[in-house]
Amino acid sequence: MDIYGLLFQKLLYPTWETGLRRRPTLLHHRELEQTQWCSLDELLTLQERSLQRLLDHVWNNVPHERSRYARAGVGPGDVRRLDDLQKLPLLTREEAMNHHDARKSVAPPLAAIDKTTSGTTGRPLAFAYDRGSEYWRQAVKIRGYSWAGYRPGDRSFHFWGSPQLGRPPLARRVKASLDRSLRREHYVDCTARSDVALGRVVDEIERVKPKALLCYAQAGAALARYVNRSGRRGWGDLPVIAAAERLFPTDRAALVEAFGPGVFETYGNREVMLIAAECEAHAGLHTSMENLIVELIVRDGDRQRPAEPGEVGEVALTDLHNYGAPFVRYLTGDLAVEHPHERCACGRWLKRLKGVEGRATDTLRDAEGRPVSGLFFNVLFAYLTDQVREFQVVQRKDSAIELRIVPTAGFDDALVDAIKQHAARFLPGIEIRAQLLSELVPDGNGKLRVVVVET
């Protein structure tokens, strides 16, 4: 570690965060550094205690949630153990959206931070949380990113989205610039992904000489493919932390070739921040058990059950430290697969996700309304990387499929008909149209959804 990084971690950051601002972020982090080595039984006990404290607060201070539970026939004494959590009704995104203010606590700790999601599902969600929850979120992020070898104060390159419309006030810009300078965080907007734009990004990486690259998964993959085909890798192994989007096997392979073997996938959302992160063993993503309860649920009408290890389930989150506007059994809209409950090769017992399969809304439909996984196209195009640089699948409201393809120099026009014929076998009765584009344009947040289903 360089001298400044050591100075930041040992003196500057603790003096600011703990001494001057009186925030418990680093205290929580020290606790997390210890609990990550606890046994599974010890971790489950920690979760159970945190759940009891949270629900006691909800019963007493969040009237809207209390009334929801009462309608479901659940009273204050009915949920005392983790298994009892299944008695509570699921909180859908629509419910959270329609009752934003009503879901807030009427007694301290009060909601103090208001945010919205990026709206990749078509409708942004407004939500809130208290400051105590913010400190836990930051501590969890520090720990999760440290598994990739990255710590606050390390020189880092963030190939990230730029969600803000217009210029923030001058005071906020100055504060953000100063904070990033002290932390040595260099941000570059990942929205533009032409070869010219990606070439400039490589120039910046060479100038900054970061210790770690943090990126949106698909943006990082696009950058890696440019580096590989242009032969512009001029650095040694550089840890990569991929976030915000799913990291597919072909993306990981491209990142490994461009930046080395230290590729770490993370999974999170705006509502709770870091949900799970990959450790040095690269064998699934450890969930943030001390901060969240992550359930994977299989629903069949009004019935529900926990997903079995290896089975795809809907992700439901309980944020154990958000008392201001609690998320209890909140359905994120994501699909994931749970890893068998066993000790990881890294030595941690923190539960793991085997993989995040995408959003529930990423499921395509054939002419009869039967579901077809959008991952079908990921598998198909994984074998066409010599002819297709990038792709996106959009199912329109009229059910037609629009394939957006960025071809390579070796693209054969006959491939379009072959793709259509192959896809028609899995999507009978659906019109499939193809567009050849020079580049794909991410949304305003810098994210590029591979599969989009219009609603």
**CA nearest neighbour of 297 among 288, 289, 306:** 306
pLDDT at 163 over 70: no
Q: What is the pLDDT of residue 131?
A: 97
pLDDT, average across residues 132-140:
98
DSSP classification of residue 91: B
pLDDT, average across residues 296-306:
89
Q: How far is CA 68 from CA 85, 99, 125, 295, in A?
A: 14, 12, 20, 20
Instruction: Please tell me the distance from the alpha carbon of residue 355 to that of residue 99, in angstroms, as a whole number.
Output: 31
Identify whether the C-beta of residue 128 lies closer than 8 Å to the C-beta of residue 111.
yes
pLDDT, average across residues 114-143:
84
The pLDDT mean for the chain works out to 90
Query: How sure is the predictor about 154, in pLDDT bands with cuts at 50, 70 and 90?
Result: very high
Task: Assign 3-state DSSP to the chain and report helix, strand, coil percentages, each to 5.
Answer: 35, 25, 40
Residue type, 293: I
Instruction: Please tell me the distance from the alpha carbon of residue 266 to that of residue 340, in angstroms, as a whole number.
Output: 19
pLDDT, average across residues 250-261:
96
pLDDT, average across residues 410-422:
88
pLDDT at 361 over 60: no
pLDDT, average across residues 398-414:
90
Three-state SS for 351? coil
Q: What is the pLDDT of residue 379?
A: 65
- Of the two residues 450 and 412, the one the predictor is more confident about is 412
Domains of the chain, first to last: 3-282 (3.40.50.12780), 366-453 (3.30.300.30)
Q: Say how many residues make up the chain.
A: 455
Q: What is the pLDDT of residue 391?
A: 86
Query: How sure is the predictor about 357, in pLDDT bands with cuts at 50, 70 and 90?
Result: confident
Instruction: Please tell me the distance from the alpha carbon of residue 266 to that of residue 275, in angstroms, as a whole number.
Output: 8
Q: How far is CA 431 from CA 26, 126, 279, 395, 440, in A?
A: 55, 36, 43, 10, 21
Q: Which residues have CB under 8 Å from 315's CB, separation 6+? A: 275, 294, 295, 296, 297, 331, 332, 333, 334, 335, 336, 356
Q: What is the pLDDT of residue 189?
A: 85
Q: What is the pLDDT of residue 164?
A: 47
Per-residue pLDDT reduced to its tens digit, 89-111: 999 988 998 899 999 999 999 99
State CA 190 to chain mean position distance.
16
Residue 112 phi, psi dihedral angles, 5° rounding: -125, -15
Give the whole-number percent of the chain exceeding pLDDT 70: 92
Structure tokens at 336: 């994931």
pLDDT at 268 over 90: yes
Instruction: Please tell me the distance from the alpha carbon of residue 188 to that of residue 200, in angstroms, as a whole number.
Output: 10
pLDDT, average across residues 352-360:
82
Per-residue pLDDT reduced to its tens digit, 185-222: 999 988 777 888 899 999 999 999 999 999 988 889 98
Q: What is the pLDDT of residue 121?
A: 46
Q: What is the pLDDT of residue 451?
A: 84
pLDDT at 454 over 80: yes
pLDDT at 122 over 90: no
Lowest mean pLDDT among 190-194, 299-303, 305-309: 190-194
Number of H helices, E strands in the chain: 13, 20
Lowest mean pLDDT among 172-186, 207-221, 228-242: 172-186
pLDDT at 453 over 90: no
**CA nearest neighbour of 275 among 288, 262, 256:** 288
pLDDT, average across residues 289-313:
92
Q: What is the pLDDT of residue 444?
A: 61
Q: What is the pLDDT of residue 382?
A: 66
Structure tokens at 427: 């999507």
pLDDT at 364 over 90: no
pTM of the model: 0.83
Residue 373 phi, psi dihedral angles, 5° rounding: -65, 135
Instruction: Please tell me the distance from the alpha carbon of residue 101 to that of residue 63, in angstroms, as a whole number.
Output: 11
Instruction: Please tell me the distance from the alpha carbon of residue 62 to that of residue 56, in angstroms, as a whole number.
Output: 10
